[in-house]
Structure 1
Amino acid sequence: MAASAVAVGIIFLAQTVVGVLGNSSLLLHYLVLYFPGCRVRHTDLILQHLIVANLLTLLCKGVPETMAGFGMKYFTSDIGCKLLFALHRAGRNVSICSICLLSIFQAIKISSGNSRWAELKIKAPKYTISCIYLSWVLSLLLNVTNFMYTMANRRNKTITNLKDYGYCSSIRHDTTTDSLFAALLTFPDALCVGLMLWASSSMVLILHRHKQRMRHVHKTSSLRSSPESRATKTILLLVSTFVSFYTLSCIVQVCLTVIYNPSLFLVNTAAIVSGCFPAVSPFLLMSRGYSVSGLCFTWIQNKGTHDIMGNM
């Protein structure tokens, strides 16, 4: 076994283990919100689906890529290979949709009550769950084509019209067909990224206006930012990180699509880049204090204050 293959396997293994541990711990924390005494917010529900999508992306790509890196390239069947590809891309698409929904929802939430978003601000929470489940359904439907063009690698069998992805292969078409197919799959992602950037720009503008207004208030009133402001800054960090990794991933994927016979280095690079955001995002959330314990403590503290006021 070549040293380069072992190195690639170790990279995939480290990325998968770190990402799965981070997402699992954060998901476990969020599940505490279902216990009595804690109120589940709509942003928490979106983040839970984001974490599940991240886990799906990491497990369906990282585990088989790790096995392939250590020389086990013939461990799956055609059905297994099709499912791995379809579930990985579905998880990736839901991850994009979740961040898009999160940024739009937060932009509506922090908008002023007398703005044109006032009516939408009231209705938005009602459609959050429907939008999340719709994103799962659409993501799975968009990846049905993987069942037609993906197959497992076979030992002692070489087919010239296949693109080799290590443990699986896909049928190679002409460059025009591959480009059109890639554009069809990329269009929903590009639309979500566009909405994401628009919502992020709106949040930045709202925060800037709020900061300008706070200059006229006494300094002691602005020492501590509001929960909405902190959540907005967290989402902006999440969006900027995602867009950076997504842009790099798109560049590599375009090269992978256009090149007739891509090298193993390019295939591995595309897989590693696609797993960066799912592995990093839970730590970004935890570093910004997006923990359930803090949310529960704040809710219980506020609830206790209201109870005291009610008994007075």
Structure 2
Amino acid sequence: MSSLSIVLNFQAGLGVLANMFLLVFYTFIILCHRPKPMDMISSQLTFIHRVLLLTGADIWLWDISESLNIENDFKCKTNFYISRVMRGLSICVTCLLSVFQAVTISPSSPLLAKFKYKLQNHMIYAFLFIWSFNLLFSSNQIFYAGAFTNVSETKQMKVTKFCSLYSMNYIIGALILTVVTCRDVFLVGLMLASSAYMVIILLRHQRQHKHLHSLSHLRASPEKRATQTILLLVVSFVVMYWINLIISSSAVLLWMYDPVILSVQKIVMNVYPTITPLVQIISDNRIINIVKHMQSVCHQIFKKR
């Protein structure tokens, strides 16, 4: 196994464990407590990232599917389709999370209060639309992905040891590329705009209340922590998204995928799904309080012994 494969599998393993922990936490909150609308969005994002990391770990999935005697063509089509759906869902739900946060912390007004109420009550419809759109839109992967064959390599591009992408009609390819680009540019732009708006609100709030805090307290203020969390998630998503887009576009234009380039691309793709749960765990006071409570309980048990 190459060093890049080791890095990829370690990264995927860390991301899957972090997302699993967070998914269990959100499931507990949703079932046993009164969840916030933000918890519903975050739980969706956590589930999406967990599946995305698993579909990117070809070695794990291939070993499992080999034991089940599943045909290579079916495995390739399924893996490509799920991966594309989850990538689309990741950008859509991240954008929804950013916009919802911006609306939540906006200054109160009668019009905005009405909009907040509608947004919270129509959250389920937003989820249904996002999932339906991405499930339908990514269905082209079923037709243009499959097991690698030895027939005319000019008509297929090998992207893994066993799987390849087949060439498609120029008009269909251009149409799909246009829709994907428009969707991604719109969502990334909306994400950046809402995040910048949040940063402005938090910094303005911090300046207005600066005289009430000491310098040491100000450094650890919730406003500053929230700003840093938002900036980290948005910047990491946007940077990794565009790096991945450049690599993918170059490979498609050259109609060639080098194994090293493919591994690097997967590592880049997995950065955001791996970072997101770690940032959420560190920044969520409920999780921190649970960990502290568990530490105190364990300390008392060991003390009694």
Q: Normalization by structure 1: what TM-score?
A: 0.80
Match of 2:38 among 33, 36, 43: 43
The number of aligned residues is 286
Aligned sequence identity (%): 29
Task: Please report how far the alpha carbon of residue 180 of structure 1 lies from its aligned counterpart in structure 2 after TM superposition.
Answer: 4.7
Instruction: Sort the Cα spacing of 1:76 and 1:240 in 2 relative to 1 into closer, same or farther, 3 A.
Output: farther
Q: Tell which deviates more after alignment, 231-240 or 92-101.
A: 231-240
Q: What pairs with 1:6-85 in structure 2 (closer than 5 Å)?
A: 6-36=2-32, 38-64=33-59, 76-85=71-80
Give the whole-Å Cα distance in 1 for the aligned partners of 2:274 and 2:191: 20
Could you tell me which residue of structure 2 aligns to residue 160 of structure 1? 154
Say if 1:33 and 1:292, in contact at 8 Å, map to a contact too.
no
Structure 2 SS opposite 1:170 = strand
Tell me, yes or no, if the aligned pair for 1:256 and 1:267 is still in contact at 8 Å.
no
For residue 99 of structure 1, the aligned residue among 94, 97, 102 is 94
Change (3 A) 1:232 1:34: same
Specify whether residues 52 and 85 from structure 1 end up closer, same or farther in structure 2 by C-alpha distance, changes over 3 A only.
same
CA distance in 1 between counterparts of 2:206 and 2:70 reads 57
Unmatched 5+ stretches in structure 1:
69-73, 298-312
C-alpha offsets along residues 49-101 of structure 1, whole Å, 9 cap, x if unaligned? 10111011111121348859xxxxx9752222111111111111111111111
Task: Pick the aligned partner of 2:166 from 167, 171, 182.
Answer: 171
Structure 1 residue aligned with 2:297 = none
Structure 1 residue 284 displacement after superposition: 1.6
* Aligned counterpart, 1:205: 200
> TM-score scaled to structure 2, two decimals?
0.81
Distance 1:116 1:232 in 2: 25
Deviates more, 1:111-120 or 1:235-244: 111-120
Report if aligned partners of 2:4, 2:264 keep a CA contact under 8 Å in 1: no
Q: Distance in 2 between matches of 1:291 and 1:117?
A: 28
Equivalent position SS for 2:199: helix
| Corresponding residue of 2:183 | 188
Structure number with higher helix proportion: 2
Whether 1:146 aligns to 2:141 is yes
Point out the more displaced range, 76-85 or 95-104. Answer: 76-85
1:89 aligned residue? 84
Counterparts in 2 of 1:107 and 1:163: CA distance versus 1, 3 Å: same
Q: Which 10-residue stretch deviates more, 265-274 or 159-168?
A: 265-274
- One-letter identity of the residue aligned with 1:205: I
RMSD of equivalent CA atoms: 3.1
Residues of 2 paired with 1:258 and 1:164: CA distance? Answer: 14
Matching residue within 260, 267, 273 for 1:272: 267
Q: Distance in 2 between matches of 1:200 and 1:281?
A: 15
Contact preservation (8 Å) 2:5, 2:263: no
Once the two structures are TM-superposed, the CA of residue 243 in structure 1 deviates from its matched residue by 1.1
User: Deviations along 1:232-291, whole A, 9 cap, x unmatched?
Assistant: 542332112111211211111111221123333323322221122112221121222354
Contact persistence 1:33–1:296 (CA under 8 A): no
1:285 and 1:271, CA in 2 relative to 1: closer, same or farther beyond 3 A? Answer: same
Deviations 1:130-184 (A, max 9, x none): 2123211111111010111111124x66643100011311112477864553332
Give the corresponding residue for 1:304.
none
Secondary structure of 1:138's aligned partner: helix
Question: Are the aligned partners of 1:29 and 1:293 in contact in 2 as well (CA < 8 Å)?
Answer: no
Partner of 1:113: 108
Aligned amino acid, residue 109 of structure 2: N
Structure-2 change in CA distance of 1:12 and 1:236 (3 Å): same
